[in-house]
Amino acid sequence: MTLADVALRAGVSRSTASFVMTGRAADMRISEAAQRKVLEAAADLGYRPNLTARSLRTNKTHTIGLISDTIATTPFAGEVIHGALDAALAHGHLLFVAETAGNEAVEADLISEMLDRQVDGIIYATMFTRYQKAPAVLSKVQSVLINCLDPTSSSPRIVPDEYQGGRTAARALTNAGHLHGIYVIGGRHDIPKTPGGLYAGVNRMRGVEDELRTYGTEVALSYECEYEPAFGYQATIELLSDGHRPRALLCLNDRLAFGAYQALGERGMRVPDDVSVVSFDASDLASWLRPSLTSVALPHYELGRIAVTTLLDAPAGKGGESNDVLVPMPLHEGDSIATVTSAGQIQE
């Protein structure tokens, strides 16, 4: 079924058929009759345009490549894809998805494969926000970076607003009356493996500290460790063993909070009656915990959606000013925070 078949059956030329099928009939002032004939013929024949052929002429494939370092390990990546997909579809585009597993050779290869297929643009995503150089080729094509803070890149960078997220988490506590006995688990992730901490950790902590300062208070103690359950467990156990009596735990992610819950459970401490907990990620885990965990979400769906929108709406003239976007991190409320009355008593 080609356009020629449709034109033949409609008794018009291929160009007329083409104009009708691409919706430019009005522009070209095609007669009503001709339009109807073409449309009918197309319907009868079940005609569908060959987009590959069209692309050859138009230099647009209505196709985008999404390439990230990890898609399987984390459910978050799925959300990024999801957001990107919805936006792409809304613009009539399809998405190539690929993953590099952190291998630069694979990465270069994947980008080439996509470019060879004439994608209209490429979205390059890293699993979590960090300073990292994006592949150089990307600056030569339409591209957008997700979570990748390449200072030398001219591509728009889409990242979560971790600082605001930190303030939000702290405010969830202060709003409930918690001003003292706030312990942080995870901190900036300042451990030998990642000296100085992670982007997310550093900025969340800045937000937390600034927010608490607003209330004239501060964190009682911050425990730096890897963001995994076992460390959350260990940190909490150590805290308790050292004689600390936290009224609130601010965990840098849900997995840490999960570990903290396990430790608190073993020590017979109840959430939120004995200790309130707030966290980051708002993963499924947060909703499965008992009580459900109040957590500040990482806006993965939005990151994907905005990346595609930014890519597709980019002005043809590669405009000068930065198109960086800070995406807000919303609070997902659970039942892990108790309200403290001014008398210092707990009220759930």
Partner DNA sequence: TTGAAAGCGCTAACAG
Partner DNA sequence: CTGTTAGCGCTTTCAA
User: CB 49 → DNA: shortest distance, Å?
Assistant: 4
Q: Is 62 in the site for DNA (CB under 7 A)?
A: no
Nearer to DNA, 2 or 139 (CB): 2
Q: Is 33 in the site for DNA (CB under 7 A)?
A: yes
Residues in the chain: 348
Alpha-carbon gap, residue 138 to 315, rounded angstroms: 17
Q: Which residues ranging from 292 to 311 are in contact with its own copies (CB under 8 A)?
A: 301
Give 13-51 as a DSSP string. Answer: -HHHHHHHHTT-TTTTT--HHHHHHHHHHHHHHT----H
User: CB 53 → its own copies: shortest distance, Å?
Assistant: 6
Please answer whether residues 319 and 326 qualify as being in contact, where contact means their C-beta atoms are separated by less than 8 angstroms.
no
Alpha-carbon gap, residue 335 to 27, rounded angstroms: 60
- Long-range contacts of the stretch 269-276 (C-beta < 8 A, 24+): 269/240, 271/336, 272/335, 272/336, 272/337, 272/338, 272/346, 272/348, 273/338, 273/346, 273/348, 275/246, 275/247, 275/248, 275/249, 276/173, 276/176, 276/178, 276/247, 276/248, 276/249, 276/336, 276/337, 276/338
163 binds, among its own copies, DNA, none (CB under 5 to 8 A by kind): none
Q: Report how far apart the first and last C-alpha atoms of the chain are (Å, whole number).
A: 68
Q: Is 332 in the site for its own copies (CB under 8 A)?
A: no
Nearer to its own copies, 114 or 148 (CB): 114
Q: Is 4 in the site for its own copies (CB under 8 A)?
A: no
22 binds, among its own copies, DNA, none (CB under 5 to 8 A by kind): DNA
Q: Which of 3, 80, 293, 329 binds DNA (CB under 7 A)?
A: 3
Q: Which of 1, 56, 136, 326 binds its own copies (CB under 8 A)?
A: 56
Q: Is 81 in the site for its own copies (CB under 8 A)?
A: yes
Residues that bind its own copies (CB under 8 A): 48-53, 55-56, 61, 63, 71-75, 77-79, 81-82, 85, 89, 94-99, 110, 112-118, 229, 233, 255, 258-259, 262, 265-266, 285, 288, 290, 301
Residues that bind DNA (CB under 7 A): 2-4, 11-16, 18-19, 21-22, 28-31, 33-34, 49-50, 53-54, 56-58
